[in-house]
Structure 1
Amino acid sequence: MEIGAMVVAVVGVAGTLGASLLTQRGAERAKRREIELVRDHEEVRENLALRRACYAALNRDSRQYTTALNRHLHVMREQGVQDADREALDAAKAAHRDTYSEAQMIAPDAVLDPATAVNHALTLVYGQVKRLERGAPEAGETMETVSRAQQEIWDLLREMRAAMRVDLGVSAAD
């Protein structure tokens, strides 16, 4: 009987120790999963914050570049362009270029496609403005046609901004 009691005691102790070990391992696994979920959530939140900042800067700089092109056209019509006017336009162009370059590395295609359309339109109008400024426009380039092309950029900006808002979850997709 002593051996039987001893076996029962050993099994009981082993069971108690084993249950403690299993409980501890389960708690460790749960804690690891919790840490991974928190890490994933933080990564998603940081990615969203990065995109939001990039989109806000791109929207602002694209609008300011468009406005600078419009102002430059008015200056060309009314008084003639001075160095300060050229510098203001080039500063707006550089700011847009920098934020567009950042967006190329961050934005998904659904946002990058309309941003690229805006960038392309701004580049075309800038070239037209500079050719008019030098007095060497290409065929069909007049103050009127360039002004119309510059005004059409506002529609592209609205499309870009709408895509950004959808990507950030601010607006629902159409």
Structure 2
Amino acid sequence: MGGSILTQRGSERAKRREIELVRGHEEIRENRSLRRTCYAELNRDARQFTTALNHHLHVMRERGVGDSDIEALEAAKDAHRGRYSEAQMIAPDEVLKQASVVNQALNKVYGQVKRLERGAPEPGETMETAARAQYEVWDNLRAMRTTMRQELVVTPEE
């Protein structure tokens, strides 16, 4: 009788370990899926914000901005800010470091664009310097995307 009780307890312990192992694998898979979704959306929203800044600069050169142009830029900025805030809670440090570089670059360009729009640029700020800074954001976006892909093991590290 004692032997059957020990066998039963051993079997229960093995089953618990198996359940814990399965739960651990599911948690890892869910975490990876959450990061993948967050990264894809952050990449998309940062690219859309960059594109909106470029469009806004073109509109400023061609005809002057209207309310709908301002709303489109603000919507892109808000979407990026929301996604970046989400990434701050999900992304590991290496990814967050690159996302922060992108965020800072976008905010810098946004500030320049808004000052130019108001007719109150800082010394040295012109449409050309803002356009150049906006274009340089694309390099930051590529670096961020590469880091994200490496963290997800989509692209091997170089």
Same fold (TM over 0.5): yes
1:112 to 96, 99, 109: 96
Structure 2 partner of 1:42: 26
Distance in 2 (alpha carbons) for counterparts of 1:171 and 1:114:
16
Number of aligned positions between the proteins? 158
Which secondary structure does the structure 2 equivalent of 1:50 belong to? helix
Which amino acid in structure 2 is aligned with residue 28 of structure 1? Answer: E
- TM-score, normalised via structure 2 length: 0.98
Which structure: larger Rg?
1
- Structure 1 segments, 4+ long, off by >2 Å, are none
Which secondary structure does the structure 2 equivalent of 1:137 belong to? coil
Structure 2 partner of 1:172: 156
1:149 to 123, 130, 133: 133
Structure 2 partner of 1:71: 55
The offset of 1:148, in angstroms, is: 0.4
1:92-103 correspondence runs (5 A)? 92-103=76-87
Which amino acid in structure 1 is aligned with residue 15 of structure 2? Answer: K
Give the % identical residues: 72
Distance in 2 (alpha carbons) for counterparts of 1:26 and 1:64:
57
Distance in 1 (alpha carbons) for counterparts of 2:60 and 2:122:
17
1:50-61 correspondence runs (5 A)? 50-61=34-45
Which amino acid in structure 2 is aligned with residue 170 of structure 1? Answer: V
Provide the aligned C-alpha RMSD in A. 0.7
Which secondary structure does the structure 2 equivalent of 1:155 belong to? helix
Structure 1: which 5+ runs fail to align? Answer: 1-16
Which secondary structure does the structure 2 equivalent of 1:94 belong to? helix
The offset of 1:70, in angstroms, is: 0.2
Report which stretch shifted further, 164-173 or 84-93.
164-173
Query: Alpha-carbon deviations, 1:63-100, whole Å to 9, x = none?
Result: 00000000000000111111100000000000000000
Structure 2: which 5+ runs fail to align? Answer: none
Distance in 2 (alpha carbons) for counterparts of 1:60 and 1:144:
25
